[in-house]
């Protein structure tokens, strides 16, 4: 039984971006074309019928928070005391990485929101889209960035250290940065965001870390750890599916143009993060491995956390704010894999 679960987990983790994209597409199509309930009779209010099947309509509120907490728990299960000792051994490197993480991506996001707000087709939803991309920019590094650093022969220990540091800083820095960059456009509950980030990141990671220290030597626990990547991908797909369910009607109403413009904004944000992260490392004369790691850590964000914050604090007034977060969930995994393969291919050519 374990071998089957392990193979499924390995398949999901290796094809994470494909699985997440397929989940989003199937969710959207099912909600578009599969009606449920009665056909509206003459005179019946159109807003009540026809209803359509919602695969992930249950992923909202506390349920979504729990799912994101499970993702963070799986990250905590991979951490060891040595990972935290690294924070003390390489404080300058970690400080540089955290500074790059929480300056480059928020400022790039803020700049892009101004540029895209000049596009007429984007104007109606410019505030909502600004909230979404700024949320993504202000989040800590993505969990899968450590895997990408490993694939491209980056500095994996540095990657883990940066992810830990940015996640620990997130409860304070993320709400403050969102308040600073988006507070003029919409009310930002910084205290509420602080509490939410503690609940969905620090506490689950702490529990996972404690379990790893306490039970990490047991074979059964190590087998459970081996299946965690697949569970993490499945949970992320559920979050994306829930977001697609939420924004389905506005996307149908506004057509493909809005989606394309939003994807272009996410693409620019992510790509500039990679480029500027690598540039900072080059200016500081980092090794090739550290350049690659800093590039990936800066460019890849914990968009799942951004999605949860958007759904919790902004969806009532700006439902489209979750769209950039959902697109980022899928795209960051795809682009991270592409960049890691580019770096790896460069090594092969040099050999």
The position carrying tokens 């390995």 is 10
**pLDDT given for residue 179 in this prediction:** 92
Other CB atoms within 10 A of residue 195 CB:
12
pLDDT along the chain (351 residues), means of 10: 85 80 88 70 50 83 88 84 79 91 95 89 82 94 79 83 89 93 83 91 89 88 86 86 81 78 93 96 93 93 89 86 86 85 82 67
Report how far Cα 334 is from the mean position of its chain's Cα atoms. Answer: 12
Query: Which two structure tokens, joined as six digits, stand for 349?
Result: 């050519």
HSE toward the beta carbon, residue 43, CA cutoff 13 A: 0
**pLDDT given for residue 50 in this prediction:** 58
119 CB-near residues (< 8 Å, 6+ apart): 261
Q: What is the CA radius of gyration of the chain?
A: 20
**pLDDT given for residue 42 in this prediction:** 52
pTM metric for this prediction: 0.83
- What interhelical angle do 126-138 and 156-182 show, nearest 10? 140
Cβ-contact 270, 331 below 8 angstroms: yes
Cβ-contact 146, 13 below 8 angstroms: no
Closest-CA residue to 166 (of 326, 309, 307, 302): 302
Closest-CA residue to 105 (of 134, 71, 65, 63): 134
**pLDDT given for residue 46 in this prediction:** 46
Q: Does domain 59-350 have CATH number 3.90.1150.10?
A: no
DSSP 8-state symbol, 38: P
d(CA 152, CA 147): 9
Domain locations in the chain as residue ranges:
59-350
Closest-CA residue to 104 (of 266, 295, 343, 348): 295
**pLDDT given for residue 49 in this prediction:** 43
Query: Which two structure tokens, joined as six digits, stand for 298?
Result: 């800066």
């Amino acid at each position: 039984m374990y071998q089957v679960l392990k193979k499924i987990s390995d398949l999901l983790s290796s094809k994470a971006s494909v699985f997440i994209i397929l989940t989003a597409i199937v969710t959207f199509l099912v909600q578009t074309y599969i009606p449920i309930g009665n056909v509206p009779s003459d005179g019946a209010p159109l807003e009540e019928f026809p209803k359509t099947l919602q695969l992930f309509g249950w992923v909202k509120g506390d349920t979504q928070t729990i799912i994101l907490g499970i993702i963070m728990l799986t990250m905590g299960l991979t951490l060891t005391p040595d990972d935290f000792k690294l924070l003390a051994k390489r404080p300058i490197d970690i400080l540089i990485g955290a500074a790059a993480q929480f300056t480059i991506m928020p400022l790039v996001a803020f700049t892009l929101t101004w540029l895209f707000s000049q596009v007429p087709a984007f104007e109606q939803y410019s505030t909502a889209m600004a909230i979404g991309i700024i949320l993504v920019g202000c989040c800590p590094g993505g969990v899968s960035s450590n895997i990408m650093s490993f694939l491209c022969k980056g500095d994996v220990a540095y990657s883990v250290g940066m992810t830990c540091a940015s996640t620990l800083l997130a409860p304070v820095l993320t709400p403050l940065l969102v308040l600073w960059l988006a507070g003029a456009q919409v009310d930002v509950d910084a205290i509420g965001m602080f509490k939410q980030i503690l609940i969905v990141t620090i506490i689950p990671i702490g529990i996972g870390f404690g379990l790893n220290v306490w039970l990490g030597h047991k074979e059964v626990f190590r087998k459970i750890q081996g299946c965690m990547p697949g569970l993490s991908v499945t949970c992320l797909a559920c979050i994306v599916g829930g977001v697609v369910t939420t924004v389905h009607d506005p996307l149908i109403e506004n057509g493909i143009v809005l989606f394309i413009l939003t994807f272009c904004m996410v693409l620019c944000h992510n790509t500039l993060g990679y480029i500027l992260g690598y540039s900072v490392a080059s200016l500081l004369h980092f090794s090739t491995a550290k350049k690659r790691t800093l590039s990936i850590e800066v460019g890849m964000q914990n968009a799942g956390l951004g999605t949860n914050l958007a759904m919790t604090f902004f969806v009532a007034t700006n439902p489209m704010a979750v769209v950039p977060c959902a697109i980022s969930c899928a795209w960051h995994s795809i682009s991270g894999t592409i960049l890691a393969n580019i770096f790896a291919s460069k090594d092969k050519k040099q050999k």
